[in-house]
């Protein structure tokens, strides 16, 4: 496999403790038991290459391997590894789908996705499924060991290019949330408010029609419009929403 996965960031700890390499070295020195790793990839040659590389690390032990997500879940349940190093796209069952199941059968296991996929959707789905790291296979081999130590010690690891995409998505999410907050409550017409007030008193459509001197079908249309505007499903939901938003006050 060689030593050419490519570069990954060396990030300083926010409290000035040191770089990821330094933190990993200190942690390795103080760790009594080796980090138990399960390697999951559908390419046997790649799995073998990782095993050879990680075998050179005294504080890391490859305890098993799997060729797809389904096998990975079974191996994780049996071996209870500290770290699962897993590809995203594999036959039978992909890494992201397997991620959720692995967290169920081996809750203490931390999952690092090591993949060629730089798709934003894969990154987001992996994080939502419980992955602690997302690294592209362009990273160098010695940095795989560094990432394993960092994740084992509670850090998160994301390749720089993917971290940039993640930050962009977070900013978009915040902006969309702010925009939703700026959207005013749906405005009901005066007639719709009259209908809603009568609904809140427990009147049925026939009684409301008599009270307002309109047809029962017109009442039904008003109720349907109210629910559509408020994006609700029932008359009671509409009353509760209106009272909560102070659109309607029942005396």
In a domain, 11, yes or no: no
| Most confident among 105-114, 153-162, 201-210, 236-245 (mean pLDDT) | 105-114
What is Dmax (Cα atoms) for the chain?
Answer: 87
187: DSSP letter:
P
Residues 239 and 169 grouped into a single domain? no
Q: What is the mean pLDDT of residues 146-168?
A: 80
- pLDDT for residue 172: 61
Q: What is the mean pLDDT of residues 226-234?
A: 83
Q: Across all residues in the chain, what is the average pLDDT?
A: 79
Secondary structure (DSSP) of 5-63: S--------TTS---HHHHHHHHHHH-SSPEEEEEE-S-HHHHHHHHHHHTT-TTEEEE
Global pTM value: 0.56
In a domain, 180, yes or no: no
In a domain, 132, yes or no: yes
Domain of residue 196, residue span: 190-244
119: DSSP letter:
-
Q: Which residues contact 46 (CB under 8 A, 6 or more apart)?
A: 1
Q: What is the mean pLDDT of residues 205-211?
A: 91
Q: What is the mean pLDDT of residues 123-142?
A: 85
In a domain, 182, yes or no: no
pLDDT higher than 60, residue 95: yes
């Amino acid at each position: 496999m060689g030593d050419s996965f490519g570069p990954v960031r060396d990030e300083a700890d926010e409290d000035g403790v040191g770089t990821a390499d330094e933190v990993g070295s200190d942690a390795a020195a103080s760790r009594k038991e080796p980090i138990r790793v399960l390697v999951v990839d559908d390419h046997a040659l790649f799995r073998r290459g990782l095993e050879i590389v990680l075998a050179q690390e005294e504080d890391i032990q490859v305890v098993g391997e799997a060729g797809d997500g389904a096998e990975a879940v079974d191996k994780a349940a049996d071996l209870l590894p500290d770290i699962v190093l897993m590809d995203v796209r594999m036959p039978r069952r992909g890494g992201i789908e397997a991620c959720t199941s692995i967290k169920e059968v081996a809750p203490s296991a931390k999952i690092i996705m090591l993949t060629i996929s730089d798709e934003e959707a894969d990154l987001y789905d992996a994080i939502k499924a419980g992955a602690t790291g997302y690294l592209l296979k362009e990273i160098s081999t010695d940095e795989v060991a560094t990432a394993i130590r960092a994740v084992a010690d509670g850090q998160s690891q994301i390749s720089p290019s993917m971290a940039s995409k993640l930050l962009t998505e977070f900013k978009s999410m915040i902006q969309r949330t702010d925009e939703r907050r700026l959207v005013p409550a749906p405005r009901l017409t005066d007639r719709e408010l009259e209908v809603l007030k009568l609904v809140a008193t427990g009147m049925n459509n026939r009684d409301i029609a008599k009270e307002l001197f309109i047809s029962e079908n017109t009442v039904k249309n008003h109720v349907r419009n109210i629910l559509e505007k408020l994006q609700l499903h029932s008359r009671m939901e509409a009353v509760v929403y209106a009272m909560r938003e102070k659109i309607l006050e029942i005396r």
